[in-house]
Amino acid sequence: MTSEVVENEFEFYSKAEKYWKDVPATVDGMLGGYGHISSIDINSSRKFLQRFLRDGPNRTGTTRALDCGAGMAKVGGWMKLDSTRGTQVGHPQAKAFTCKWLPGGEGIPTAASVPSPGHPLSPNPCSAPPGHLTDNHLSDFLKRCRAGLRPNGIVVIKDNMAQEGVIMDDVDSSVCRDLAAVRRIIRRAGLHLLAEERQENFPDEIYHVYALAMR
């Protein structure tokens, strides 16, 4: 649990905010010097999402997308504009909302939705990559996602996963959870997993990365 490695929530969030202010808003900056794996990442994410665009019980809609903890909006951009084999990953008329990480009350990150402040997730949900949220705040955020889903909507997260337990990164002030911990938080938020997939063809020296879809 993050309570075992995060001693002070305010410092945890403040230190992360300070770190990312100094990181270049480039693919290489967002990926910590691993910009060359961006296309591998995107292609795998596209393939993962396409399973939910086919007919079946887990089929989802394509008219709205919300990219939380958007950084430079790399993900939101290809979701909205990219297409493969004639199947649009994001509908051409879709409004791709992005959430920027802004300092909130007591140092807790909050979301600003662009361009519409009236999205169902507003106002001010905790909104940052999972590794930058404590267990309680990640669970609360996923609950808000669940409440804001359209019929047949899905929530997808993709993040680093530890082999065991929860590991603190003192450089960017983030945590890396193992899959068991992430699954517990998902259940706690009242969501159930539809699919999970480990990212392939990433460098051996970095954490394993998993994509998880839920509703």
Mean pLDDT of all residues in 44-68? 82
Q: Does the structure show a pLDDT above 90 at 198?
A: yes
Phi, psi for 14 (deg, rounded to 5): -65, -40
**Residue scoring higher pLDDT (120 or 198):** 198
Instruction: Return the bridge partners of 84, or none.
Output: 87
pLDDT digits (tens, 9 = 90+) for 150-183: 888 999 999 999 999 999 999 999 999 999 999 9
What pLDDT is stored for residue 201 in this prediction?
A: 93
Residue with tokens 């949900």: 125
pLDDT digits (tens, 9 = 90+) for 16-52: 888 888 888 777 777 778 778 888 888 898 889 888 9
The distance of Cα 169 from the centroid of its chain, to the nearest Å, equals 18
Nearest to 25 by CA among 95, 90, 100, 81: 100
What pLDDT band is residue 70 in, cutting at 50, 70 and 90?
low
Q: Is 8 exposed, middle or buried (0-12, 13-18, 19+ CB in 10 A)?
A: exposed
Can you state the angle between helices 38-50 and 74-81, rounded to 10 degrees? 50
**d(C-alpha 27, C-alpha 35), whole Å:** 5
What pLDDT is stored for residue 150 in this prediction?
A: 84
Tell me the CA distances in angstroms from 148 to 23, 142, 152, 171, 215, one per residue in order.
31, 10, 11, 33, 11
What pLDDT band is residue 107 in, cutting at 50, 70 and 90?
very low
Tell me the CA distances in angstroms from 88 to 10, 73, 84, 94, 197, one per residue in order.
41, 18, 7, 10, 21
What pLDDT is stored for residue 34 in this prediction?
A: 79
What pLDDT band is residue 75 in, cutting at 50, 70 and 90?
low
**Residue scoring higher pLDDT (32 or 11):** 11
pTM, two decimal places: 0.76
What pLDDT band is residue 71 in, cutting at 50, 70 and 90?
low
Tell me the CA distances in angstroms from 168 to 6, 135, 205, one per residue in order.
8, 13, 17
- Extents of the domains making up the chain: 2-71+92-101+122-214
Tell me the CA distances in angstroms from 30 to 22, 74, 168, one per residue in order.
11, 9, 19
* 59-73, 101-115, 161-175: the lowest-pLDDT one: 101-115
Tell me the CA distances in angstroms from 140 to 18, 41, 55, one per residue in order.
24, 27, 31
What pLDDT band is residue 98 in, cutting at 50, 70 and 90?
very low
Whether 214 and 155 have beta carbons less than 8 Å apart is answered as yes
Whether 69 and 98 have beta carbons less than 8 Å apart is answered as no
The rounded mean pLDDT for the chain is: 75
Q: Considering the domain delimited by 2-71+92-101+122-214, tell me its CATH architecture.
A: 3-Layer(aba) Sandwich (3.40)
Q: Which H/E stretch holds residue 48?
A: helix 38-50
Q: Does the structure show a pLDDT above 80 at 10?
A: yes
**Is 86 known as a binding-site position?**
no
